[in-house]
Chain A
Amino acid sequence: MADPILEMQSITKTFPGVKALQDVSLSVERGEIHAICGENGAGKSTLMKVLSGVYPHGDYEGTILLDGKEVQFGSINDSEAQGIIIIHQELALVPYLSVAENIFLGNERVKRGVIDWNQANADAAALLARVGLDELPVTPVGQLGVGKQQLVEIAKALSKEVRLLILDEPTAALNDNDSEHLLGLLRQLQQQGITCIMISHKLNEIAEIADNTTIIRDGRTIETLDMKADGVTQERIIRGMVGRDLGHRFPPHEPNIGDEVLRIEDWTVHHPTQPERIVVDGASLNVRAGEIVGLAGLMGAGRTELAMSLFGRTYGRNITGRVYLRGEEIKTRTVAEAIDHGIAYATEDRKKYGLNLIEDIRNNISAANLKKVSRLGWVNANEETKVAESFRASMNIKAPTVAALAGKLSGGNQQKVVLSKWLFTDPEVLILDEPTRGIDVGAKYEIYTLINKLAEQGKAVLVISSELPELLGICNRIYTLSAGRITGVLPREQATQENLMQLMTKERDQVR
């Protein structure tokens, strides 16, 4: 039975000053789906980089056995030649090139020195059929959604005759339908004899699909769980990951709801480059003081678009509708105006829109309210540092000092910096877009606790999330959005994943 395709033995990888991996071992059976779990910064990605040759042989200690024979990869090319393909969390596709061009990028179908496009497109079509993607090979990748792009990546891996496929957080950016499809595809590939290693934070997916799960914590292997065995539940995995029994994944919270703070009426937004397309269609909603309100919707439902158009018109055009703050109509034509009215928006993509990664924590925290630590245009750097230090302590940002660069923090800590930045503007309304995306379980719990604390301070919180359990776990009320329309609102007591999903898919067909 034991027929490991891959064995990594006693891998130790040190960065100057940090031991990222310490004596990590991993054994993957031929043909299985093997999940790797661990908090952010636990060393999962580093381990995969060692495996795929991003960190070349000699850069780490320990041995890698493939089919029982030791291998020494000097680069990604070496590992790909052995059929080990890694698909990174951030997709590596060229948006302006076609699906076929992307699939065969660096591996072009060539005849006598010239690319044979007929062959390439035909091969691409076959690969697309294999991954169940119904698109033409000549379609530019940029026109596809994230879920479909993920499939293109897998088709690209298949084109290289992959034996061991490594997926880093494959479903992080996908909605439930796309995730479902992707997991189904992985099972199909498994039947075709492809072994799969999957890094994921989504424990329900792991429970559903993985044969074995290896848990890594603080750069060490903790255990490998046989998912078929009894008693291996999501809670069991969590216990391994954080080293403590969380009991509840969501902190308890007694809501103390006051008067209405934010009300939006008849909010309509058009697409920025296709003005005839309506992205948000007559949406109305309200949030009260001390209330945590969820906004659920599938990809493309217009959740982020609604938030961004509200926040200083940073998305869309021909925006109409009314915004009321404590009953008074306000204008939020620019970001500065929105902030002045006490609205804060923590973006979905921290790295791209939330943080200046080449600056330190301090400058990031003060970025949205620099005037509070300055007088007549002069920044008081000492005051600024004091403020940042106090946030570092109260938000439990794990960094030696606030002079550490934001780009070097883990996802959870980056998110805490983003939240600190917005709390420093002293907002009345906080819009949190995917506040826990790509964050490990332990840090998620911390973020939920923070959100509860904010609500207890009487702030109105609007949470946008793709994870329904999360919304059900922390929100007092949940709005559903489908194809740009608010299709319902349910109090926490009445909401279930099933009825929310029904509302989230409602009207879709009618709109189309």
Chain B
Amino acid sequence: MTAVAGFKDLFTRNLRQSGIFIAFVAIVGLFTILTDGTLLSPGNVTNIVLQYSYILILAIGMLIVIVGGHIDLSVGSVVALTGAVSAVIVIKNGQPWWVGVLAALAVGLVVGCWQGFWVAYVGIPAFIVTLAGMLLFRGMTYQVLDNVSLSPFPAEYQKIAGGFLNGFLGGQGIDVFTLVIAAVAVVGYVVSQFRTRAGRIKYQQVVESMPIFITKLVLVALVVMAFAYQLARSRGLPIVLIILGVLIMVYVVVTTKTVFGRHVYAIGGNLSAAQLSGVKVQKVNFWIFVNMGFLAAVAGAVYSSRSNSAQPGAGNMFELDAIAACFIGGASTTGGVGRVTGAVVGGLIMGVMSNGMQLMGIDQSVQQMVKGLVLLLAVAFDIYNKRRAGAAR
């Protein structure tokens, strides 16, 4: 006997998670109307992806940090430092693009080890360690760059954030290759969903009823294909989108399906209980920060590629965007709760809002104010929800 959950059941149970998706759809809808459809035009959809990719990459790492009960204020500086190191190697020393990227990743890992050491093994709160890191790595960036900007990068390097995969399979005005890749992704998703479902049925667990399950898959497929269609009508598949897609997939799996992921949630949920259950808290905390350093380096490479330069002031305030993305996406301020998909959608909400307001020609100052209020409201909504759940005991 396999129990089947109805639609209403699923909806109410997942309100907290689905709430963020509903909000996202509403915001996209709102700005599509306000911009007379420009928001969803092929060129602009591509633009949003390119413009916010590095924030989303940072948000993934930040989500894990926040779920673990920490915070990382240094990622903006790390983005700058890794970009700067890469620029010095590629632009000043004329090394190939991949040497620069590898060097950036190496620097990111070293930074992560450094911060992880202080947080995990010395026991200094992450707020302090990364506040110090923010100053430290910003200063190092100035040193590495000798106080000047470096540009331009060679064409190959620029492709990381500005390149597209297209034209392999032809098509007239609509890139077939992009559509094929999207179709492959959709098929992969559908297959994995069916396998998960089969696994749950084998273990006699509750699954969604077949119509709901199919509706969900069709909806996801439609959204992905519509998105891909818009990309295909523009310049094709951005390379950075592939990077982002792979990272999201990997980290969804890491957070939900691995022992490491579970331990992160356990530590954030109740540190003492995790410790007394044999979780190697120090080790887990250490790797949380190494991972954050790595992702900050990826973001650093992408950002330097996109801006086609390395500047001493690069990445300023990125940490706050990444942190905001996590909280808008439903992460708990006290740790233990949060999802990678939530953080990504949270980041997209901010991206779509900024982009929409830019299209409408709204002043930068107003944009900042709106973003601030949205963050506040998102967390207020979350707390309201929790209180309601708490009263239901």
What is the interface of chain A, defined by CB distance below 8 A to chain B? 15-18, 20, 311-312, 314, 334-336, 338-339, 345, 347, 352-359, 363, 366-368, 370-371, 374, 377-379, 381-383, 385-386, 401, 408, 421
Hey, which chain A residues are within 8 Å of B280, CB to CB? 334, 336
Min CB distance, B27 to chain A, in Å? 28
Hey, which chain A residues are within 8 Å of B361, CB to CB? none
Give the top 6 A-B pairs by smallest Cβ distance, nearest first: A356-B269, A382-B203, A368-B277, A356-B270, A336-B278, A335-B278
Hey, which chain A residues are within 8 Å of B260, CB to CB? 377
Cα of A374 to Cα of B260 in the assembled complex, Å:
11
From B257, B261, B272, B277, give the contact of A421 (CB < 8 A): B277
Q: Determine the residue in chain B with the shortest Cβ distance to A345.
A: B276
Query: B269 touching A358 by the CB < 8 A rule?
Result: yes
Min CB distance, B165 to chain A, in Å? 31
Hey, which chain B residues are within 8 Å of A358, CB to CB? 269-270, 332, 336-337
Query: A363 touching B266 by the CB < 8 A rule?
Result: yes
Hey, which chain B residues are within 8 Å of A345, CB to CB? 276
Min CB distance, B333 to chain A, in Å? 13
Hey, which chain B residues are within 8 Å of A16, CB to CB? 392
Cα of A198 to Cα of B1 in the assembled complex, Å:
47
B210 contacts the other chain (Cβ, under 8 Å)?
A: no
Query: B274 touching A367 by the CB < 8 A rule?
Result: yes
24 contacts between A and B (CB under 8 A): A18-B393, A311-B276, A312-B276, A314-B276, A334-B278, A335-B279, A336-B280, A353-B270, A356-B273, A356-B274, A356-B336, A357-B269, A358-B332, A358-B337, A359-B266, A363-B262, A363-B265, A366-B262, A367-B273, A367-B274, A370-B262, A377-B259, A379-B261, A383-B203
B205 contacts the other chain (Cβ, under 8 Å)?
A: yes
From B203, B258, B259, B276, give the contact of A385 (CB < 8 A): B203
Hey, which chain A residues are within 8 Å of B270, CB to CB? 352-353, 355-358
Query: A353 touching B273 by the CB < 8 A rule?
Result: yes
Min CB distance, B367 to chain A, in Å? 34
Hey, which chain A residues are within 8 Å of B274, CB to CB? 356, 367
Hey, which chain A residues are within 8 Å of B269, CB to CB? 356-359
- The A-contacting residues of B in range 238-287, CB under 8 angstroms, are 257-263, 265-266, 269-270, 272-280
- The A-contacting residues of B in range 191-218, CB under 8 angstroms, are 199-200, 202-203, 205-206
From B199, B332, B392, give the contact of A15 (CB < 8 A): B392
Min CB distance, A204 to chain B, in Å? 30
Query: A382 touching B259 by the CB < 8 A rule?
Result: no
Min CB distance, A421 to chain B, in Å? 7
B373 contacts the other chain (Cβ, under 8 Å)?
A: no
Min CB distance, A45 to chain B, in Å? 10
Number of interface residues of B (CB under 8 A): 32
Q: Determine the residue in chain A with the shortest Cβ distance to B388.
A: A16
Min CB distance, B226 to chain A, in Å? 31
B391 contacts the other chain (Cβ, under 8 Å)?
A: yes
Hey, which chain B residues are within 8 Å of A363, CB to CB? 262, 265-266
Cα of A352 to Cα of B277 in the assembled complex, Å:
13
Cα of A367 to Cα of B259 in the assembled complex, Å:
10
Min CB distance, B182 to chain A, in Å? 27
Cα of A339 to Cα of B276 in the assembled complex, Å:
10
Hey, which chain A residues are within 8 Å of B266, CB to CB? 356, 359, 363, 367
Hey, which chain A residues are within 8 Å of B261, CB to CB? 379
A382-B276 in contact given A15-B391, A363-B262, A408-B393 (Cβ < 8 Å): no
Identify 7 new A-B residue pairs, CB closer than 8 A, beyond the known A352-B273, A358-B336, A367-B262: A354-B276, A356-B336, A358-B270, A363-B262, A374-B258, A379-B262, A382-B200
Min CB distance, B281 to chain A, in Å? 9
Hey, which chain B residues are within 8 Å of A338, CB to CB? 278
Cα of A189 to Cα of B332 in the assembled complex, Å:
45
Cα of A377 to Cα of B270 in the assembled complex, Å:
21
Q: Determine the residue in chain B with the shortest Cβ distance to A308.
A: B276
Cα of A20 to Cα of B391 in the assembled complex, Å:
12
Hey, which chain B residues are within 8 Å of A359, CB to CB? 265-266, 269, 336
Hey, which chain B residues are within 8 Å of A366, CB to CB? 262
Hey, which chain A residues are within 8 Å of B336, CB to CB? 356, 358-359
Query: B259 touching A353 by the CB < 8 A rule?
Result: no
Min CB distance, A258 to chain B, in Å? 27
From A17, A370, A382, give the contact of B199 (CB < 8 A): A382
Cα of A404 to Cα of B353 in the assembled complex, Å:
36
Cα of A408 to Cα of B273 in the assembled complex, Å:
17
From B203, B205, B272, B393, give the contact of A352 (CB < 8 A): B272
Cα of A208 to Cα of B123 in the assembled complex, Å:
49
Cα of A18 to Cα of B272 in the assembled complex, Å:
32
Hey, which chain B residues are within 8 Å of A314, CB to CB? 275-276
Cα of A18 to Cα of B391 in the assembled complex, Å:
11
Cα of A314 to Cα of B271 in the assembled complex, Å:
13
Task: Pick the most buried of A16, A311, A383: most chain B CB atoms within 10 A of its CB.
Answer: A16
Hey, which chain A residues are within 8 Å of B202, CB to CB? 382
From A311, A334, A354, A374, give the contact of B273 (CB < 8 A): A354
Hey, which chain A residues are within 8 Å of B273, CB to CB? 352-356, 367
From B203, B206, B265, give the contact of A386 (CB < 8 A): B203
Hey, which chain A residues are within 8 Å of B393, CB to CB? 15, 18, 20, 408
Hey, which chain B residues are within 8 Å of A347, CB to CB? 276
Cα of A339 to Cα of B280 in the assembled complex, Å:
12
Cα of A95 to Cα of B158 in the assembled complex, Å:
58
From A15, A311, A378, give the contact of B258 (CB < 8 A): A378
Hey, which chain B residues are within 8 Å of A339, CB to CB? 278
Query: A367 touching B279 by the CB < 8 A rule?
Result: yes
Task: Pick the most buried of A16, A311, A356, A382: most chain B CB atoms within 10 A of its CB.
Answer: A356
Query: B278 touching A368 by the CB < 8 A rule?
Result: yes
Hey, which chain A residues are within 8 Å of B279, CB to CB? 335, 367
Query: B257 touching A335 by the CB < 8 A rule?
Result: no
Hey, which chain B residues are within 8 Å of A377, CB to CB? 258-260
Hey, which chain A residues are within 8 Å of B275, CB to CB? 314, 335
Q: Mark B126-165, 1 if CB is under 8 A from A, else 0.
A: 0000000000000000000000000000000000000000
Task: Pick the most buried of A17, A339, A353: most chain B CB atoms within 10 A of its CB.
Answer: A353
Hey, which chain A residues are within 8 Å of B276, CB to CB? 311-312, 314, 335, 345, 347, 353-354
Hey, which chain B residues are within 8 Å of A15, CB to CB? 391-393
Hey, which chain A residues are within 8 Å of B200, CB to CB? 382
Cα of A479 to Cα of B251 in the assembled complex, Å:
51
Cα of A312 to Cα of B391 in the assembled complex, Å:
38
Hey, which chain B residues are within 8 Å of A371, CB to CB? 259
Q: Determine the residue in chain B with the shortest Cβ distance to A386.
A: B203
Cα of A314 to Cα of B273 in the assembled complex, Å:
11
Min CB distance, A46 to chain B, in Å? 9
Hey, which chain A residues are within 8 Å of B206, CB to CB? 401
Cα of A379 to Cα of B258 in the assembled complex, Å:
5
Min CB distance, B13 to chain A, in Å? 9
Min CB distance, B386 to chain A, in Å? 10
Task: Pick the most buried of A20, A314, A367: most chain B CB atoms within 10 A of its CB.
Answer: A367
Task: Pick the most buried of A339, A381, A383, A386: most chain B CB atoms within 10 A of its CB.
Answer: A381
Query: B277 touching A367 by the CB < 8 A rule?
Result: yes
Cα of A107 to Cα of B274 in the assembled complex, Å:
39
